Amino acid sequence: MARVPSAKSQVHLSDGTLGVALLAVPVGLVLGAALAERLVDRVGSRVLCRICGVGSCAAVVTPGLAHTLPELMAGLFVIGVVGGTLDVAQNAQGVRVEAAYARPVMTSMHAFYSLGAILGSLAGAGLAWAGVALLPSLAAVGVVGALIDGTAGPWLLAGKPSPGAPEVNLSESSRVPSDKAATENSPDARRRVRRLVLALGVLGVCGVVGEGAAGDWSAVYLKDNLGTSAGFAALGFAAFSVTMTTGRGVGDRLIRRFGVVPVIRVCGLIATAGLALALATPAPAVAIVGFTAFGAGLSIVVPQVFAAGGRADPFRPGSGLARVVGLVYTGMAAGPAIIGLVANNIGLRLALLIPLALAAWIAVAAPVLRASETLSQDHRLAQATKADV
């Protein structure tokens, strides 16, 4: 993404046609998540991670080979499909790792995504500043990534996920039948899973729309609405990114101490207050403080939604995760476009009330994360009861 300007120049695109080309990525991500839903529980997340990890590094070269709009869209679509499949597979692997630790670690793993975004942006900027052409720079990054993925692959957990993991110790008095889990294949049970997946997807959309709004519109807002320079305006997203990464680094410890629902509820309130401050103040420096708080508030939301998605369907954990990820990607694709459309009609400040309202909903809907744990525990209880019988 840091080399998008170079791709635009190479293919001779206008701003409008570039926007059309970039839509190929989220479309591919949604389809990749749908593909992963069919594969991750069948072949295991380790196999998909190893194939799609190296595959994504190979696919990243394709925009450097493009010289027409269809070629660029095809390359970006491939990147989206492989990346979407990889995202589900690696989060499914993350759910298994978290189960093996028997404590929250998912947010810390997602911190490396944020760190990678920062390092990737710096690397792309450095290559562009040095005058390295698009294809060689993408190829260099692809080779390095493939070597890292190839080295890391053997360390992943082999086999397929066991439904309802992690294991729990049940006392004799707690080993009683659970009607909800015992009828896991009933229409009522499947409806409960579908409702939970939808609720988690909505919560994830609230997070990614806020992330997209900060990435796409924070600098524009600071420059056009508050009258800052372009350099100063870039600090808004930089501050957001730093607290996003830092928040994910400490998020697991907060969840272990206070529990996921209280932490996510407070995060929603912090995100709401931060963006409200950024929109209410005429002072650019204060607005940057607001975007800083906005990043901290959103940092833990999506990792916990994905972790809960892996528990949403105890009998098909990969499928539940894939459906949640697909819903989140849909929101990620639509959110920035909707904000832009609204901004064209009523102004950017009022359009940013959309992510503000969604941040507030995070605080309201946080208890849905507890529902996934309850459903998974019901399943494990039923399994233990069956084993006793």
pLDDT tens-digit series, residues 25-46: 888 998 998 898 888 888 888 9
Task: Give the pLDDT mean for 1-27.
Answer: 82
Domain 177-388 CATH superfamily: MFS general substrate transporter like domains (1.20.1250.20)
Can you give the pLDDT at residue 299? 94
Average pLDDT rounded to a whole number, residues 158-164: 61
Phi-psi map region of 156: left, alpha, beta (phi>0 left; psi -120 to 50 alpha): beta
pLDDT of residue 186: 67
Of the candidates 220, 204, 218, the residue with the CA atom closest to the CA atom of residue 332 = 204
Query: Dmax of the chain from CA atoms?
Result: 71
- Among 1, 78, 99, residue whose Cα is nearest residue 35: 78
Q: Which of the four pLDDT bands, split at 50, 70 and 90, describes residue 318?
A: confident
Q: How many other C-beta atoms are found inside a 10 Å radius of the C-beta of residue 160?
A: 18
Residue 61 has pLDDT above 70, yes or no: yes
Residue 76's pLDDT band (boundaries 50, 70, 90)?
very high
Instruction: Give the residue-averaged pLDDT of 111-139.
Output: 86
The mean pLDDT of 204-229, rounded to a whole number, is: 89
What is the pLDDT at residue 169?
A: 34
Residues 6+ apart with CB under 8 A from 24: 72, 73, 74, 76, 77, 80
Is residue 300 within 8 A of residue 107, CB to CB? The reply is yes
Q: What is the mean pLDDT of residues 288-316?
A: 90
Domain ranges of the chain: 4-153, 177-388
DSSP 14-53: -HHHHHHHHTHHHHHHHHHHHHHHHHHHHH-HHHHHHHHH
| Listed range (61-65, 165-169, 322-326) with the worst mean pLDDT | 165-169
Report, as an integer, the average pLDDT of 198-216.
91
pLDDT category at 159 given cuts 50, 70, 90 is: confident
Instruction: Give the mean model confidence (pLDDT) for residues 210-227.
Output: 87
Using one digit for the tens of pLDDT, what is the confidence trace for 284-301? 999 999 999 999 999 999
- pLDDT greater than 70 at residue 385: no
pLDDT value at 165 more than 90: no
Residue 387 predicted with pLDDT over 50: no
Mean pLDDT, the chain, rounded, equals 84
What H or E segment, with its residue span, contains residue 350?
helix 348-351
Q: Which DSSP letter does residue 192 get?
A: H
Of residues 5 and 164, more confidence is placed in 5
Q: Tell me the percentage of the chain whose pLDDT exceeds 90.
A: 43
Identify which of 172, 286, 293, 317 has the alpha carbon closest to the alpha carbon of residue 243: 293
3-state secondary structure of 20: helix
Q: What is the pLDDT, as a whole number, of residue 191?
A: 81
CA distance 204 to 202: 5
pLDDT value of position 349? 92
Nearest residue to 180 (alpha-carbon basis) of 26, 287, 78, 314: 314
Q: Which residues of 235-274 are buried (b: 16+ CB within 10 A; e: fewer)?
A: bbbbbbbebbbebbbebbebbeeeebbebbbbbbbbbbbb
Q: Cα 232 to chain center, whole Å?
A: 27
pLDDT of residue 314: 73
Tokens 């959110």 — which residue?
335
Q: How many CB atoms lie within 10 A of CB 220?
A: 14
Of the candidates 301, 126, 335, the residue with the CA atom closest to the CA atom of residue 216: 335
* Beta carbons of 164 and 314 less than 8 angstroms apart: yes
pLDDT > 70 fraction of the chain, expressed in percent and rounded:
88
Kindly report, residue by residue over 361-382, the tens digit of the pLDDT. Answer: 999 999 998 866 655 554 444 4
235-244, 293-302, 304-313: range with highest mean pLDDT = 293-302
